[in-house]
Chain A
């Protein structure tokens, strides 16, 4: 997916704490801004983000309009097994996007 940027180490030692960085391109319209005519611009944000590691959810976040455009979230996890990270973003107006990254644990 071109709209998501994921940074996961390619290799890690078993038991190592690794940092995962994610960025999803999205306008994150707050719903509190107005056009010059005074009309409210409807809210359009990502409301939920989750990360699964080999199918098990390891991180989840609820997002609010206070998140900047192109929400950037980093978190940590312990490298347990080689496998795949699956990332999912969902939001207003039926927004849904996914991304994945693989890791080799030695």
Chain B
């Protein structure tokens, strides 16, 4: 009797473990961002314009213990005058379920082109910040982050 119940428990556990393993694989794969989908998300924002490297500073800790809250600061070294200012800042990633992380819209009244927030990172990956200036040019910065505890996708509650 005891033997039978443990066998049943074992089979039940194995079955639910298989189901748990299978479901995220099936449902998450198509949604996961890839370097290609990040590129297309960036294209959706910048259009045909070329994105140059520079002016933007993306501050994210290089080694992150907990991907659920990662402090992030984006600073653009550009004057904030009515004639020449930062219009918007866009942040992208390549391995979260979605390539877009956030869009921030500023103006000359901001005084300083700097924003801070806290983000989630699902994996060790590359993050790209792009700034749009009032003259229509785009500038970017890229940072590699190593995440030891990933956010969002692999937790089951």
Contacts and interface: CB of A to CB of B under 8 A. Distances in A.
Interface size class of chain A, counting residues whose CB lies under 8 Å from the partner chain = 20 to 34
Given A30-B152, A38-B20, A77 B109 contact: yes
A89 B65 CA distance: 29
A59 interface: yes
Nearest to B96: A66
A85 B152 CA distance: 33
Contacts of A32: 28, 31, 97, 152-153
A68 B153 contact: no
Given A30-B120, A59-B106, A64 B101 contact: yes
A17 interface: yes
A95 interface: no
Interface stretch (B46-54, B111-119, B128-136): B111-119
Interface of B: 16, 19-20, 23-24, 27-28, 31, 68-70, 93, 96-98, 100-107, 109-121, 152-153, 155-157
